[in-house]
């Protein structure tokens, strides 16, 4: 059983999958930082505040609004649509998908499939036999 597991674990596809999962996790962390630390603050300038704190209160909680942040909304028990957090998640998804697309594209460039070689020319005997066959076919027809 140990031998079977070792063969399974050392197959090329299994190693490729493990590398993909690790690269995906690292890419996710980098993209999260990019969105949370760079893009959100820049978008926050446009929307006059922290982009991740954009929300629409549907029902006030025990403590009446206005609420300055998503944390205050949660603390008050209010019901709110937190579209800023949703937009962050969408941006993270798009950037992660794009980064993985670039990664796969680069990997495909390195793993260029060799173009199949032109078929070898048949030996002289085979050529001669083909010519004889064609001549016989033309005589009969």
Domain presence at residue 137 = no
Domain presence at residue 91 = yes
Distance CA 134, CA 116 (A): 29
Domain presence at residue 13 = no
The most distant pair of C-alpha atoms in the chain lies apart, rounded to whole Å, by 103
**Model confidence, pTM:** 0.56
pLDDT for 1-17, tens place per residue? 778 777 766 666 677 77
Distance CA 41, CA 84 (A): 12
CA angle 70, 46, 79 (to 5 degrees): 20
Number of independent structural domains in the chain:
1
Asked if the model's pLDDT at residue 29 lies above 70, the reply is yes
Asked if the model's pLDDT at residue 141 lies above 70, the reply is no
> Can you give the residue range of the structural domain that contains 91?
31-113
Give the number of other CB atoms < 10 A from CB of residue 108: 10
Domain presence at residue 11 = no
pLDDT of residue 115: 57
Domain presence at residue 12 = no
């Amino acid at each position: 059983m140990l031998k079977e597991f070792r063969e399974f674990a050392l197959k090329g596809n299994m190693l490729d999958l493990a590398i993909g999962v690790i690269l995906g996790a690292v890419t996710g962390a980098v993209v999260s930082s990019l969105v949370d630390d760079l893009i959100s603050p820049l978008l926050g300038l446009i929307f006059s505040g922290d982009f991740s704190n954009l929300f629409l209160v549907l029902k006030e909680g025990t403590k009446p609004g206005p609420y300055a942040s998503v944390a205050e909304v949660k603390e008050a028990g209010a019901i709110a649509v937190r579209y800023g957090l949703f937009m962050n998640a969408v941006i993270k998804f798009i950037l992660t998908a794009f980064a993985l697309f670039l990664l796969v594209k680069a990997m495909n460039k390195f793993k260029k499939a060799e173009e199949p070689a032109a078929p070898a020319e048949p030996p002289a005997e085979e050529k001669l036999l083909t010519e004889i066959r064609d001549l016989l076919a033309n005589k009969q027809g």
